[in-house]
Amino acid sequence: MAGFPFSIYRLDTGEVISAGTCSMFRDVVAQPVAANEICIALALDPALQYVLDGAPAERPALLDKTEWTLPDDGEAVQFPVPENTIVRYEGEASTVDDGAFEFEGDTPGEYRFSIEPPFPYQRQLLRIVVREIPSN
């Protein structure tokens, strides 16, 4: 038995705060919601979807490109991000307050970042590979 899907979202933003299934439809309509929330009988993925003008919509991606390869000569990856975007790297988090992400490639290796912009943007994973420039 697949069950009856539901999603709970915020009326003011469309952010899906909970989604799942219930074994009986009466349990879907009985989901507890706050005054600014609504429960719908539809399964949405909170990481990828939200409700826009009363209909499900894809949350926008901040970046079209999520992988870069750089030489180890100090070349940089730089792009604008909304203020209050959280950047995570190796368990550490920092908040962007100047509107830009920048990474300078001066040490060979693979670097992975989690970019968590404010809602409604999707969280995205970045991969930056810095390759050693062979010396002649």
Please write the tens of the pLDDT for every residue from 77-98. Answer: 999 999 999 999 999 999 999 9
Cα 102 from Cα 87, distance rounded (Å): 11
Q: 136 falls in which pLDDT band (50, 70, 90)?
A: low
Q: pLDDT higher for 47 or 28?
A: 47
- Is the whole model's pTM more than 0.75, yes or no? yes
Domains belonging to the chain, first-starting first, are 4-58 (no CATH), 67-131 (2.60.40)
In this predicted structure, which of 17-21, 24-28, 53-57 has the lowest mean pLDDT?
24-28
Max alpha carbon distance in the chain (Å)? 73
